[in-house]
Structure 1
Amino acid sequence: MNIVNIDTWYAVQTQVNAEAKAARNLVRQGFEIYLPRYLKRRSHARKVEKVAAPLFPRYLFVRIDLGTQRWRSVQSTFGVSRLVCNGPDPAPVSQEVLSTLKSREDESGYIKLDQLPKLALGQKVRVLAGVFAENLGLFDGLADRDRVAILLDLLGRKVRVSIEADMVVAA
């Protein structure tokens, strides 16, 4: 086994929806973890809210010094499915990957995602959710900071609708 320096990070696959549980248990064992999260838009019962969600569902990163820490204990930690390995040894994650993720965090520690879709005027789009879900339309520009305008064919005519930017994708 090759011993790697102390600044090496590794990927851990967690059980379904158990990222926070695995993170808590790994920290209790003395490991440093990094769980990149972003603010996800969630709609429920006519209410829209932003909730923290893992950027990589079922994965987090753990810093391990293979020379001094008992890294095999990660495998049996509550909430963890497995430590991602390359053969018998843990597979290191590039420091550049983690640096890039951390550089995209806002002041609250959440990863900032590109909100506005990269669409051209007149491009075909599909609505992902809401009352117009699965409808096709044409991109008609930006309505404001978080919304886009699209033209939908409703009742035989084109209707301009303003909709959340993350609810529209290119068709």
Structure 2
Amino acid sequence: MAKQWFAVRTKPKKEIVAKDQLENQGFKVYLPLVNTRITHARKVSWQPRPFFAGYLFVHLSRDEQRWTAIRSTVGVLAPVSFGSFYPPLPDKAIEMLQSSHDEGGYITVGKSNESPFTSGEKVRLQDSSLKGLEGVFIEMRGEDRALVLLDWMQKKMRLETSLDNLSSAS
């Protein structure tokens, strides 16, 4: 019988617990992770985080769809459903996610058409009162704005600026 992918909502920050518990019950589970740069108390580390916070995916055939068992699993809130209909995800969507893993098993988030920089890339401010300062590109904020993390006056400072104000520092 053909298997399909289904999305399952998890309790906040319990994606890995839910994944482990579902796998212990014999379900095939996919939890895409991204290696995230974390700054805490002036220390930088890289930690795995769910690519889709609060969600994971379960691969089921029609006779494996034990929604009550899935719903009552530790760490799970509920399968994504519309009433009594549990919409399957296209296999291509999961295949696309799985094909974008790096050698460490994490989803790589690189440059896109909308973003000229990758997350974590060093950038330099060009046209502002902070001209010449270097920071780390975090993410896009709309079509033409970027969030940058500056290390300025011994403090970490988030700055939202125009893309035109940034250049690569590497």
**TM-score, normalising length: structure 2:** 0.73
How far did 1:162 drift? 1.5
Give 1:114-125 correspondences, 5 Å limit: 114=110, 118-119=115-116
- Aligned twin of 2:24: 28
How far did 1:152 drift? 6.1
Q: Is 1:161 aligned to residue 133 of structure 2?
A: yes
Is contact 1:10–1:62 with CA below 8 Å preserved after alignment? yes
Q: Structure 2 residue aligned with 1:151, among 100, 119, 126?
A: 126
How many equivalent residue pairs? 140
How far did 1:118 drift? 2.5
In the superposition, relative to structure 1, how do residues 104 and 161 fare at CA in structure 2: closer, same or farther (>3 Å)?
same
In the superposition, relative to structure 1, how do residues 41 and 52 fare at CA in structure 2: closer, same or farther (>3 Å)?
same
Q: Is 1:97 aligned to residue 93 of structure 2?
A: yes
Instruction: Select between 43-52 and 109-118 the one with higher mean Cα deviation.
Output: 109-118
**TM-score, normalising length: structure 1:** 0.73
Greater C-alpha Rg = 1
- The CA distance in 1 between the partners of 2:21 and 2:2, in whole Å, is 20
- Aligned twin of 1:112: 108
Q: Is 1:50 aligned to residue 46 of structure 2?
A: yes
Q: Is 1:79 aligned to residue 54 of structure 2?
A: no
Is contact 1:10–1:93 with CA below 8 Å preserved after alignment? yes
How far did 1:47 drift? 1.2
Is contact 2:11–2:76 with CA below 8 Å preserved after alignment? yes
Identical aligned residues as a percent: 31
For structure 1, the residue ranges without an aligned partner over 5 or more in a row are 120-141
Query: What SS does the aligned partner of 2:63 have?
Result: coil
- Aligned twin of 2:151: none
- The CA distance in 2 between the partners of 1:6 and 1:168, in whole Å, is 39
For structure 2, the residue ranges without an aligned partner over 5 or more in a row are 146-161, 163-170
In the superposition, relative to structure 1, how do residues 6 and 73 fare at CA in structure 2: closer, same or farther (>3 Å)?
farther
Deviations for 1:83-113, whole angstroms, at most 9, x for unmatched residues? 0113313210110110110111111110000
Matched letter for residue 105 of structure 2: G
- The CA distance in 2 between the partners of 1:62 and 1:29, in whole Å, is 12
Query: What SS does the aligned partner of 1:67 have?
Result: helix
